């Protein structure tokens, strides 16, 4: 069975994803990311495709899809912007950033601007606390953020020219493009960006000063 | 006082490439290990004293030794790269700057436990880390270090990067295995432990990124070399992650047993004009400390004896501008959101914790509600399959212990007496 939104070359990718695992059901998560790379969210067609390829009920695919926060029930913006509101980032400015960017765009949590360009999410700790307050765009790091820098980020995104991530590729990929990366597919950008940010290198630097 | 090993070459601009890694002897340890007897590799890691760096501190070599050998079953190695514990930020920079050290550690570990297929379970919210790990795996395959007949030794190893999708619970090892099998990530009842029935019900070792990444240096330099660092029962060096209201946050690789005072002294102390109020030694799930704990040795025993846990060595530092009730409420909201819902005390208990904490923060509570909050904690702690709910209780119980007066002040004041703007990094800009 083939589902219209997926081409033959998509099915080749889908089969290659399934072949990574000793048991095919394990491919459900990368396949859900792959569906998001086509549609910007988890569509019914995507659920049917996975159900058919993995030979499990659609209800089981939906059960998995709805468990994980990153699988979206509605289309993300072309640029999905997450503001960390876990304790440390929130206290250091994340709450203020959230309030200001949400007001600036006139949208709330998991809402999308009318032009479809930017969606917002209140996100949990993203493992970059030494760069707090942290903002993620399409799951790329924007370190040491302020309300103004975050507004600049979303304004740039709406104009099709977002600033580059702090530790990431030279140009911010779209939500769909990065969903391919999360499906485990190579986009050729691994060599771009720094090896490590300044905070990551602080201990190393101090040790070279004899500490 | 610092001893960068894992982080030694992060300042080189190609540190994440296979050439950058090999320039510093990369993959020589794997060659050496594969020429040894597999049991001797396990013994070496046991002798080194390496303990798990993901939180629990279980001896790594002993975990490997639990895998039954000659049982005719497939064995699996699964690396936990889900790093989602609030405050924890060591594995992501490690994988971004040096993914090959993990791959080399996985080659050695897989050989030791006789696994032919290994997995990295990486959290899903870090696209560039995913790119780096994926590219490193591809380059290791091309070099003949992964796949069939690796290093020409006749051994095979497949390595699969599996990327999650935003569920903190998948950092719990049995939930991680369920997730990797293609199910909702919910913890399993133990026993059986993963060493007996793990991935696909086969013997499985689950180790943290930093634990496995420590192995190549141990193989290269020997157990005695590793043993000379650290303290009596906490051997070697580890990544300490300093964040929050400090002058200079960052990663510090040091022998186990360093103190927060030493780390603050060398890095520039608290942010200018402010003093330490409370801190977590190893993420939000570890009971909080105050300035009276500045000289606690940050090793497994030292932190344990002081009433908390070394955890992930995520040192989140908060100064006097921070409302502890607000901080804890936010953490409790996190645990409520991330509870998988399997166990009632966790699913319902974290919901009630949020209600009780919110009432205090917003001035709707009485002193009796504070007792109710602690009663809730008693009824949650130790009553679920996994430690998530216990983690939710930690910040609540420890903050009431250290800052009871501040809770009472919220009750008496009918609300929070703190100005949230003062604790931001851009207080002046907002004022």
Cβ–Cβ of B8/A178 closer than 8 Å?
no
Which residues partner with B235 through β-bridges? B230
Closest-CA distance of chain A to residue B119, Å = 10
The tokens describing B231, both together, are 């303290």
Please, which contacts does B348-352 make with residues 24 or more away whose CB atoms are closer than 8 Å? Answer: B349/B376, B349/B379, B349/B380, B349/B389, B349/B392, B350/B380, B350/B389, B350/B392, B352/B376
Contacts of A197 in chain B (CB under 8 A): 93
Q: At what angle do helices A8-18 and A44-54 cross, to 10 degrees?
A: 50
Which residues partner with B76 through β-bridges? B117, B204
Per the model's pLDDT, the better-predicted residue between B429 and B427 turns out to be B427
Tell me the C-alpha distance between A47 and A53, whole Å.
Answer: 10
Query: Using one digit for the tens of pLDDT, what is the confidence trace for A44-55?
Result: 999 999 999 999
pLDDT band of A1, cuts 50, 70, 90: very low
Closest-CA distance of chain B to residue A82, Å = 10
HSE, side-chain direction, 13 A CA sphere, residue B425: 27
* Residue A9 contacts B where some CB pair is shorter than 8 Å: no
Helix (H) or strand (E) holding A52: helix A44-54
Tell me the C-alpha distance between B360 and A61, whole Å.
Answer: 40
Cβ–Cβ of A132/B241 closer than 8 Å?
no
Q: What is the ipTM metric for this complex?
A: 0.98
Give the count of Cβ contacts less than 8 A between chain A and B.
272
Collect all residues with Cβ–Cβ distance below 8 Å to A94 and sequence separation of at least 6.
A83, A84, A85, A86, A132, A133, A134
* Residue A46 contacts B where some CB pair is shorter than 8 Å: no
Question: The whole model's pTM is what?
Answer: 0.98
The tokens describing A64, both together, are 């998995």
pLDDT band of B1, cuts 50, 70, 90: very high
Closest-CA distance of chain B to residue A96, Å = 8
Q: In whole angstroms, how far apart are CA A49 and each of A45, B84, B242?
A: 6, 30, 45
Query: Using one digit for the tens of pLDDT, what is the confidence trace for A130-157?
Result: 999 999 999 999 999 999 999 999 999 9
List A residues 112-151 in contact with B (Cβ-Cβ < 8 A).
123-133, 136, 138-141, 146-148
State yes or no: pLDDT of B74 exceeds 80: yes
Closest-CA distance of chain A to residue B176, Å = 12
Q: By CA distance, what is A144's nearest residue in B? A: B425
* Residue A23 contacts B where some CB pair is shorter than 8 Å: yes
The backbone torsions φ and ψ at residue A196, rounded to the nearest 5 degrees and listed phi first, read: -155, 150
* Residue A196 contacts B where some CB pair is shorter than 8 Å: yes
Which of B131, B181, B424 minimises the CB distance to A187? Answer: B131
What pLDDT does residue A2 have?
56
Nearest to B388 by CA among B243, B240, B284, B300: B284
Contacts of B91 in chain A (CB under 8 A): 127
Cβ–Cβ of B241/A201 closer than 8 Å?
no
Residue B237 in 3-state DSSP? Answer: strand
What pLDDT does residue B236 have?
98
State yes or no: pLDDT of B430 exceeds 80: no
Contacts of B134 in chain A (CB under 8 A): 181, 184, 186, 190
- B43 in Cβ contact with B61 (< 8 Å): yes
Residue by residue, DSSP assigns B331-371 as: HHHHHHHH--S-SHHHHHHHHHHHHHHHHHHTT---HHHHH
Cβ–Cβ of B127/A90 closer than 8 Å?
no
Tell me the C-alpha distance between A6 and A19, whole Å.
Answer: 18
State yes or no: pLDDT of B195 exceeds 60: yes
Cβ–Cβ of A201/B250 closer than 8 Å?
yes
Cβ–Cβ of A211/B1 closer than 8 Å?
yes
Closest-CA distance of chain A to residue B244, Å = 6
Residue by residue, DSSP assigns A3-41 as: -TTS-HHHHHHHHHHHTTSSSGGGGHHHHHHHHHHHHSS
Cβ–Cβ of A182/B124 closer than 8 Å?
yes
The backbone torsions φ and ψ at residue A23, rounded to the nearest 5 degrees and listed phi first, read: -130, 135
Residue where the block lists tokens 């290791």: B140
Query: Using one digit for the tens of pLDDT, what is the confidence trace for A74-133?
Result: 999 999 999 999 999 999 999 999 999 999 999 999 999 999 999 999 999 999 999 999
Q: How many Cβ atoms sit within 10 Å of the Cβ of residue B414? A: 10
Q: In whole angstroms, how far apart are CA B109 and each of A22, B26, B94, B205, B312?
A: 19, 16, 18, 9, 21
Determine the average pLDDT of the residues in A55-72: 98
Tell me the C-alpha distance between B400 and A91, whole Å.
Answer: 19
* Mean model confidence pLDDT for chain B: 97
Tell me the C-alpha distance between B180 and B41, whole Å.
Answer: 27
The tokens describing B209, both together, are 């990124």
Percent of chain A with pLDDT over 90: 98
Collect all residues with Cβ–Cβ distance below 8 Å to B97 and sequence separation of at least 6.
A195, A196, A200, B7, B9, B10, B15, B16
* Residue A16 contacts B where some CB pair is shorter than 8 Å: no
Which of A32, A85, A204 minimises the CB distance to B11? Answer: A204
Tell me the C-alpha distance between B268 and B250, whole Å.
Answer: 11
List B residues 282-301 in contact with A (Cβ-Cβ < 8 A).
284
Burial of B134 (0-12, 13-18, 19+ CB in 10 A): buried
- B276 in Cβ contact with B261 (< 8 Å): no
The tokens describing B240, both together, are 């300490």
Cβ–Cβ of B241/A169 closer than 8 Å?
no
List B residues 197-256 in contact with A (Cβ-Cβ < 8 A).
200, 240-245, 248-254
Residue B192: cis peptide before it, omega within 30 degrees of 0: yes
Collect all residues with Cβ–Cβ distance below 8 Å to A149 and sequence separation of at least 6.
A135, A142
Helix (H) or strand (E) holding B122: strand B117-122
Residue A133: cis peptide before it, omega within 30 degrees of 0: yes
Cβ–Cβ of B200/A23 closer than 8 Å?
yes
Query: Using one digit for the tens of pLDDT, what is the confidence trace for B94-129?
Result: 999 999 999 999 999 999 999 999 999 999 999 999
What pLDDT does residue B115 have?
98
Identify the residue among A53, A68, A87 best suited for mutation to test binding to B, counting B beta carbons within 10 A and taking the highest: A87
- B414 in Cβ contact with B303 (< 8 Å): no
* Residue B29 contacts A where some CB pair is shorter than 8 Å: no
Determine the average pLDDT of the residues in B226-239: 97
């Amino acid at each position: 069975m083939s589902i219209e939104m997926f081409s033959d070359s998509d099915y080749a990718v889908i089969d290659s994803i399934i072949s990574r695992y000793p048991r095919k059901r394990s491919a459900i998560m990368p396949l859900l990311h792959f569906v998001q790379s086509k549609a910007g969210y988890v569509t019914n067609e995507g659920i049917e495709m996975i159900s058919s390829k993995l030979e499990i009920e659609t209800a089981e695919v939906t059960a998995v899809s709805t468990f994980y926060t990153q699988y979206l029930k509605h289309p993300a913006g072309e640029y999905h912007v997450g503001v960390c509101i876990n304790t440390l980032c929130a206290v250091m400015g994340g709450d203020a950033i959230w309030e200001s960017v949400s007001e600036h765009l006139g949208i709330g949590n998991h809402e999308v601007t009318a032009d479809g360009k930017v969606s917002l999410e209140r996100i949990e700790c993203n493992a970059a606390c030494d760069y707090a307050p942290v903002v993620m765009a399409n799951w790329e790091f924007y370190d040491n953020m302020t309300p103004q820098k975050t507004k600049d980020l979303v304004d740039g995104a709406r104009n099709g020219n977002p600033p580059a991530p702090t530790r990431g590729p030279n140009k911010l990929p779209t939500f769909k493009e990065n969903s391919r990366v999360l499906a485990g597919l190579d986009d050729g950008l691994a060599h771009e960006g720094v090896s490590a940010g300044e905070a990551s290198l602080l201990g190393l630097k101090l040790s070279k000063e004899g500490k | 006082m610092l001893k960068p090993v894992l982080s030694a070459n992060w300042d080189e601009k190609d540190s994440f490439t296979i050439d950058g890694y090999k320039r510093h002897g990369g993959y020589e340890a794997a060659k050496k290990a594969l020429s040894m007897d597999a049991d001797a590799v396990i013994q070496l890691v046991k002798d080194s004293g390496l303990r798990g760096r993901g939180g629990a501190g279980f001896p790594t070599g002993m975990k490997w030794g639990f895998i039954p050998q000659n049982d005719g079953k497939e064995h699996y190695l699964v690396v936990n790269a889900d790093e989602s514990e609030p405050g924890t930020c060591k594995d992501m920079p490690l994988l971004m700057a040096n993914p090959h050290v993990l791959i080399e550690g996985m080659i050695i570990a897989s050989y030791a436990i006789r696994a032919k297929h290994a997995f990295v379970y990486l959290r899903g919210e870090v696209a560039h880390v995913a790119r780096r790990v994926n590219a490193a795996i591809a380059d290791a395959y091309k070099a003949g270090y992964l796949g069939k007949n690796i290093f020409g030794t006749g051994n095979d190893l497949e390595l699969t990067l599996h990327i999650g999708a935003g569920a903190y619970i998948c950092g719990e090892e049995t939930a991680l295995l369920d997730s990797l099998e293609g199910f909702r990530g919910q913890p399993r009842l133990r026993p059986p432990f993963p060493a007996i029935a793990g991935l696909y019900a086969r013997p499985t070792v689950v180790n943290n990124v930093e634990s496995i990444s420590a192995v190549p240096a141990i193989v290269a330099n020997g157990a005695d070399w590793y043993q000379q660092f650290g303290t009596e029962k906490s051997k070697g060096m580890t990544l300490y992650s300093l964040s929050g209201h400090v002058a200079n946050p960052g990663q510090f690789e040091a022998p186990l047993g360093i103190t927060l005072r030493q780390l603050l002294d060398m890095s520039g102390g608290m942010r200018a004009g402010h003093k330490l109020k409370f801190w977590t030694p190893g993420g939000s799930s570890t009971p909080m400390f105050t300035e009276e704990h500045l000289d606690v040795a940050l090793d497994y025993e030292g932190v344990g004896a002081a009433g908390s846990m070394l955890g992930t060595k995520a040192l989140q530092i908060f100064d006097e501008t921070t409302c502890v009730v607000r901080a804890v409420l936010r953490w409790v909201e996190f645990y409520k959101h991330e509870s998988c819902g399997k166990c009632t005390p966790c699913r319902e208990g974290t919901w009630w914790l949020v209600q009780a904490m919110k009432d205090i923060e917003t001035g709707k509570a009485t002193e009796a509600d504070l007792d109710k909050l602690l009663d809730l904690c008693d009824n949650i702690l130790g009553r679920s399959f996994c430690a998530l709910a216990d983690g939710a209780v930690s910040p609540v119980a420890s903050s009431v212990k250290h800052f009871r007066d501040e809770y009472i002040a919220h009750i008496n004041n009918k609300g929070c007496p703190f100005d949230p703007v003062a604790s931001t990094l851009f207080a002046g800009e907002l004022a």
